[in-house]
Amino acid sequence: MATKINGVKGMNDLLPGQAARWQEMEAVAREVFALYGYREVRTPVVEPAQLFARGVGEATDIVKKEMYVFEDKGEDLLALRPEGTAGTVRAFIEHGAFVEGPQKWFYMGPMFRRERPQKGRYRQFHQIGCEAFGVAEPFIDAEQIALLDDYFARLGVRAELKLNTVGDGSCRPAYLQDLRAYLASRKGELCPDCNERMERNPLRVLDCKVESCQPVLAEAPRLLERLCPECAAHFDAVRSGLDALGVRYTVDTRLVRGLDYYVRTAYEFTSDALGSQSAVAGGGRYDGLVETLGGPPTPGIGFALGQERLAMILEKAGRAAPERKPVVFFVSADADGAREALRRAAELRRAGIACELDPRGGKMKAQFKQAERVGARYALVLGGNEVATGQAKLKDLATREETPVALAELVARVR
């Protein structure tokens, strides 16, 4: 016997029963996003590695430690995309979409990061995200957050919104200098990861979850208290917009985003359903990213949500995946019935009615068991007699009641 080959660690199969839940997440996303004017974009899973180094940031853990990078035969350095925004911005620039004015785009698909697999976080993971380009005004921030709040509500997911601002190039540099000095003064009380991040990305230290670091971080200087007038006004307007839209939120002064391109608005939706892995979606404003990647100065704001985590939340809540099941299952009594079943199944399917049959035939008892296994609502027995008379009986598999039906009227009767 040949040696069994297993899948790559952290890159998981999605079986049919699970896929139904994912189809629901994606269908609801398309429905809600369309209401807000977002249109779908599809970008490659492989991009130039330099795109993420410039866009996400050379100093981030994603670029330094987690990206899958390789040389192709032309010696170009390529990467499996670790997130969706940089590739979407690259497409926005490359195809000159900025000449058409403000754009609202969304994407869905797999991302790749070589990190230690844990609950809801894998080496191949899937995200749904939205990006809005060309609007600097703060009400687009509020509208996009409201879109995500609306999306969770339609799925029946309870998620808490945390909101913050990370300032911009006017007020953040001076704050970072003060933050580094403070962290350095408490260096001995911080974990190794915080000590490593202190110089290259001090904002990320504020996001540390290690218990021993919390007293230090609780006393750290707050950027919210040191905003320039423009950033303060922007944040106040975002809050005002959320209040007007009836979106509830909590200001979390320690909320930061892990990527270098974020400015001003930062937000996150969390759920306590998964314990410590509480973040299910997050986003923020990135007004300088388009310019950094070679486009004209263009404001932008976007978010991404993790489908694996969202699926786990839905499952934990006991919400059944809305899998489409056959309405009719044809049970063949003999060869004549099997041929007629094929004809009648094709007829129902052309009418948009889901149905199944067992092409193996076999004993009727086994076929009835298969009908129940696939969740069919009705069973219809067909044999030589039914074919000759054009009459059969439609059996309700829940109540066991049988109803006579003319085969010529089957489509109308099933509807």
Q: Between the CA of residue 390 and those of 161, 228, 384, 405, 407, what are the distances in Å? A: 61, 81, 10, 9, 5
Identify the CATH number of the domain defined by range 16-171+227-316. 3.30.930.10
Q: Taking 80 as the threshold, does the pLDDT of residue 314 lie above it?
A: yes
Listed range (176-180, 204-208, 387-391) with the worst mean pLDDT: 204-208
Q: How far apart are CA 390 and CA 388, in angstroms?
A: 6
| The two three-digit tokens of residue 80, written as one number | 């499996």
Confidence of residue 276 (pLDDT cuts 50, 70, 90): low
pLDDT tens sequence across 189-229: 888 888 888 877 788 888 787 888 888 888 888 888 889 99
Report the chain's C-alpha Rg in angstroms.
Answer: 27
Distance of CA 397 to the CA centre of its chain: 37
- Average of per-residue pLDDT across 180-197: 85
Q: What is the pLDDT of residue 150?
A: 96
pLDDT tens sequence across 20-74: 899 999 999 999 999 999 999 999 999 999 998 887 777 666 777 788 999 988 7
Pairing of strands 402-406, 391-396: antiparallel
Q: What is the pLDDT of residue 298?
A: 96
Every domain of the chain and the residues it spans: 16-171+227-316, 328-414
Closest CA to 23 of 169, 128, 162, 134: 128
Share of the chain above pLDDT 70, in %: 96
Confidence of residue 231 (pLDDT cuts 50, 70, 90): very high
Share of the chain above pLDDT 90, in %: 61
Q: Taking 70 as the threshold, does the pLDDT of residue 119 lie above it?
A: no
User: 415 with 406: CB under 8 angstroms?
Assistant: no
Residues 6+ apart with CB under 8 A from 99: none
Q: What is the CATH architecture assignment of 328-414?
A: 3-Layer(aba) Sandwich (3.40)
Pairwise pLDDT comparison (144 vs 18), residue with the higher score: 144
- Average of per-residue pLDDT across 367-393: 92
Q: What is the pLDDT of residue 145?
A: 97
User: How high does pLDDT run on average in the chain?
Assistant: 90
